[in-house]
């Protein structure tokens, strides 16, 4: 089978180039002098848009809100996701499949469905929009990320280890604290990082549960219709890419290869 | 914690064998495993089962209400009037346009994903495989809004693609394409063609990964046997590889299809002002203030996806996720 497969290799290189070329473009335009134009080729290297962006209080406020929401949603997802994973891994019970299905549902359904469903509940319950409504919305689809990572790691935990711990006289809590938790550690961290990245740049669900509040992605989205804001938009876009890329790369290393979020862990 | 490779915790002689409350609690849970299970399941199930499923239910109920046209207020009175509104020609138009786009996007993703997925599964060295896997996975998690926005630089009239097209002397071909009724437009970034390109770009990783996973499970010996028995490569592809990779294709298509159905970012940033399901939901719940109609519209992708998923389940797609 290991022929040289030149055609396939070239196709692969082309697809990877296709995936990254647009992202490189955004990065390039953040450093150019052409205010508000999509003109190619770009010209005039400058760093001044970074200064302009840094002096804009609206961007800092949006950034703050996005960080708060991502941290809150990730915390909730870590607790709920790992508890569910533990329950599903340890015990066979009636409705086990249903739990897995329920966890995946928020990302298996299109983003607008999750968004408008929560929006509709807020309307029916006459609940006002707040930072909490965004956190709740994000946590709902972040649970699956933690769940998948932790469950994958649980499956690699040998039952003999926990049994040995119990045989040696450790209590359930001690076994969890000294055997299970160290084993799960990096999976929890990877799941947390991924869910942070997912929440930080989420826009579809956010649009429905944020009301008048502006997260960073919403700021970008609303600035797209203002051509004068475009150079600053490019800078913010670059920042968002960097802020999300770092946790993703870290999570990949921590989870060891393919464990962290195959496609199933990521929806719209 | 020293790293992912560490498996056993260091022996801790200092850990005491406790006899106190801790042990009693352990014993309680040991005797009543269902209690422990219940405590572990309760928070997550309450969240997803009550809050989320409840929300989905409220969405369906919301669609049963209707908007009083004169007052602009939502009448909380159960009827099918709002769902019937979906059958108006303009709304059917939106539903068909969106579903058609989702199908076109899925098809293109499958075609583009196949070669790289096949290369990843069958030819790449394990190092290359890791690199390719990461290269495909990164965009999947990266800011999708920014990835969509980046295409403005490519598709705009003064952007990258028209620039190259002109240098290559292909301008007439592009003009012809943009002149096509229905799918064309003023420039690529305001046409359905451009929108289709961006959809394909954005969801492509979701197709590549499950497909590569499925292809990896196709035994090399099957492919060799097919060749030995005299099948030409296209025949082997059609009769052996494709059927075995089908679960992966279906799994990937669940994402490309579902994500396209429910998206309003791409139709807003790229494309003409023709309505798609997602943008229609957004407008109805926002500026139009017609939450019942928005809810009714979002029932469409739900129904389409349920049909799609039950079909996919039959093809065994869930094992390939």
pLDDT for B237-252, tens place per residue?
888 888 888 888 888 8
- Lowest-pLDDT range of A29-38, A220-229, B83-92, B137-146: A29-38
Contact A204, B265 (CB under 8 A): yes
Per-residue confidence (pLDDT) for residue B8, from 0 to 100? 56
Q: Which chain A residues contact residue B67 at CB under 8 A? A: none
Please tell me which residue of chain B has the smallest CA distance to A199: B143
Under 8 Å CB-to-CB from B200, ≥6 apart: which residues?
Answer: B105, B108, B109, B112
Residue B18 has pLDDT above 70, yes or no: no
Per-residue confidence (pLDDT) for residue B16, from 0 to 100? 58
Reported as half-sphere exposure (CB side, CA atoms, 13 A), residue B301 has a value of 37
Region B136-151 average pLDDT: 87
User: How far does Cα A101 stand from its chain's mean position?
Assistant: 20
pLDDT tier, B3 (very low <50, low <70, confident <90, very high otherwise): very low
Cα distance between residue A202 and residue A206, in whole Å: 7
Q: Which chain B residues contact residue A29 at CB under 8 A? A: 153
Please tell me which residue of chain A has the smallest CA distance to B6: A183
- Tokens 């290559």 map to which residue? B168
Tell whether A7 lies on the interface with B, counting CB pairs under 8 A: yes
pLDDT tier, A19 (very low <50, low <70, confident <90, very high otherwise): very high
Of A38, A124, A220, the CB nearest to B58: A124
Please give the radius of gyration of chain B, using alpha carbons only, rounded to the nearest integer.
26
pLDDT tier, B2 (very low <50, low <70, confident <90, very high otherwise): very low
Region B68-77 average pLDDT: 74
Closest CA to B36 of A48, A95, A230, A83: A83
CB contact under 8 A, A140 and B17: no
Nearest CA to CA, how far is A185 from chain B (Å)?
Answer: 8
Region A134-155 average pLDDT: 88
Beta-carbon count within 10 A of B287 CB: 8
Cα distance between residue A204 and residue B258, in whole Å: 14
- Classify the C-alpha dihedral A252-A255-A256-A261 as positive or negative: negative
Per-residue confidence (pLDDT) for residue B170, from 0 to 100? 81
The four Cα atoms B82, B84, B87, B90 give a dihedral, to 10 degrees, of -30
- Tokens 């996701």 map to which residue? A81
**Is residue A45 classed as helix, strand or coil in its secondary structure?**
strand
CB contact under 8 A, A241 and B282: no
Say if residue B37 is exposed, middle or buried (CB neighbours under 10 Å; 0-12, 13-18, 19+): middle
CB contact under 8 A, B145 and A112: no
Nearest CA to CA, how far is B174 from chain A (Å)?
Answer: 17
pLDDT tier, B98 (very low <50, low <70, confident <90, very high otherwise): very high
- Going from the C-alpha of A211 to that of each of A123, A205, A215, the distances in angstroms are 11, 11, 11
Per-residue confidence (pLDDT) for residue B10, from 0 to 100? 58
Interface pTM (ipTM) of the complex?
0.84
CB contact under 8 A, B153 and A40: yes
Q: Which residue has the higher pLDDT, A198 or A39?
A: A198
Region A129-137 average pLDDT: 92
Mean of the per-residue pLDDT values of chain B: 83
Per-residue confidence (pLDDT) for residue B38, from 0 to 100? 82
Per-residue confidence (pLDDT) for residue B142, from 0 to 100? 83
Per-residue confidence (pLDDT) for residue A268, from 0 to 100? 35
Cα distance between residue B187 and residue B194, in whole Å: 8
Three state DSSP letters for chain B: CCCCCCCCCCCCCCCCCCCCHHHHHHHHHHHCHHHHHHHHHHHHHHHHHHHHHHHHHHHHHHHHCEEECCCCEEECCCCCHHHHHCCCHHHHHHHHHHHHHHHHHHHHHHHHHHHHHHHHHHHCCHHHHHHHHHHHHHHHHCCHHHHHHHHHHHHCCCCHHHHHHHHCCCHHHHHHHHHCCCCCCCCHHHCHHHHHHHHHHHHHHHHHHHHHHHHHCCCHHHHHHHHHCCCCHHHHHHHHHHHHHHHHHHHHHHHHHHHHHCCCHHHHHCCCCCCCHHHHHHHHHCCCCCHHHHHHHHHHHHHHHHHHHHHHHHCCHHHHC
Angle between helices B53-64 and A111-124 (to 10 degrees): 70
Nearest CA to CA, how far is A121 from chain B (Å)?
Answer: 5
- Lowest-pLDDT range of A26-35, A64-73, B18-27, B204-213: B18-27
Please tell me which residue of chain B has the smallest CA distance to A147: B44
Closest CA to B106 of B215, B261, B242: B261
A contact test, residue of B143, B158, B287 with most A CBs within 10 A: B143
Cα distance between residue B29 and residue A90, in whole Å: 13
Per-residue confidence (pLDDT) for residue B106, from 0 to 100? 95
CB contact under 8 A, B154 and A25: yes
Nearest CA to CA, how far is A228 from chain B (Å)?
Answer: 15
Cα distance between residue A238 and residue A54, in whole Å: 13
Region B146-157 average pLDDT: 88
């Amino acid at each position: 089978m290991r022929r040289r497969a030149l055609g396939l290799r070239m196709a692969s290189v082309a697809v990877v180039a296709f995936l990254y070329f647009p992202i490189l473009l955004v990065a390039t335009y953040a450093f150019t002098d052409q205010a508000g134009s999509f003109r190619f080729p770009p010209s005039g290297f400058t760093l001044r848009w970074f200064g302009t962006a840094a002096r804009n209080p609206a961007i800092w406020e949006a950034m703050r809100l996005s960080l708060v929401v991502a941290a809150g949603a990730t915390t909730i997802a870590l607790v709920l996701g790992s508890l569910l994973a533990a329950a599903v891994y340890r015990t066979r019970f009636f409705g086990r499949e249903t739990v897995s299905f329920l966890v995946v549902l928020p990302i298996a359904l299109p983003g607008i469905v999750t968004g408008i469903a929560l929006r509709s509940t807020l309307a029916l319950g006459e609940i006002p929009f707040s930072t909490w409504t965004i956190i709740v919305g994000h946590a709902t689809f972040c649970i699956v990320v933690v769940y998948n990572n932790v469950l994958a790691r649980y499956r690699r935990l040998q039952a003999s280890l926990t049994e040995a711990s119990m045989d040696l006289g450790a209590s359930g809590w001690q076994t969890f604290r000294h055997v299970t938790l160290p084993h799960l550690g990096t999976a929890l961290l990877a799941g947390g990082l991924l869910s942070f990245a997912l929440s930080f740049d989420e826009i579809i669900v956010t649009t429905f549960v944020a009301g008048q509040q502006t997260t960073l992605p919403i700021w970008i989205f609303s600035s797209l219709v203002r051509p004068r804001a475009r150079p600053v938009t490019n800078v913010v876009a670059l920042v968002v890419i960097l802020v999300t890329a770092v946790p993703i790369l870290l999570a990949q290393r921590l989870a060891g290869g393919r464990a962290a979020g195959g496609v199933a862990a990521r929806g719209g | 914690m020293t790293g992912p490779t560490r498996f056993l915790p260091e022996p801790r002689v200092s850990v005491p064998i406790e006899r106190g409350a801790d042990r009693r609690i352990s014993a309680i849970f040991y005797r009543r495993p269902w209690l422990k299970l219940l405590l572990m399941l309760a928070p997550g199930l309450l969240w997803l089962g009550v809050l989320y499923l409840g929300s989905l239910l409220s969405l369906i109920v919301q669609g049963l209400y209707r908007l009083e046209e004169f007052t602009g207020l939502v009448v909380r009175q159960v009827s099918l009037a709002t769902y019937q509104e979906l059958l108006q020609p303009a709304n059917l138009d939106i539903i068909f346009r969106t579903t058609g786009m989702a199908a076109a996007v899925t098809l293109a993703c499958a075609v583009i994903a196949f070669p790289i997925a096949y290369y990843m599964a069958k030819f790449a060295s394990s190092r290359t495989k890791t690199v390719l896997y990461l290269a495909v996975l990164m965009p999947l998690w990266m800011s999708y809004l920014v990835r969509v926005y980046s295409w403005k630089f490519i598709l705009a009239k003064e952007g990258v693609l028209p620039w190259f097209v002109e240098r290559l002397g292909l301008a007439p071909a592009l003009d012809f394409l943009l002149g096509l009724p229905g799918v064309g437009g003023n420039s690529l970034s305001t046409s359905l063609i451009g929108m289709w390109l961006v959809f394909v770009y954005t969801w492509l990783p979701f197709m590549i990964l499950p497909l590569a996973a499925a292809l990896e499970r196709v035994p090399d010996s099957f492919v060799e046997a097919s060749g030995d028995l005299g099948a030409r490569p296209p025949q082997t592809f059609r009769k052996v590889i494709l059927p075995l990779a089908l679960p992966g294709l279906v799994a990937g298509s669940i994402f490309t299809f579902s994500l396209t159905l429910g998206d309003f970012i791409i139709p807003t940033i790229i494309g003409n002002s023709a309505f798609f399901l997602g943008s229609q939901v957004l407008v109805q719940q926002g500026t139009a203030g017609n939450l019942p109609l928005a809810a009714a519209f979002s029932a469409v992708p739900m129904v389409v996806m349920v049909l799609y998923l039950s079909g996919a389940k039959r093809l065994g797609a869930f094992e390939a996720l």
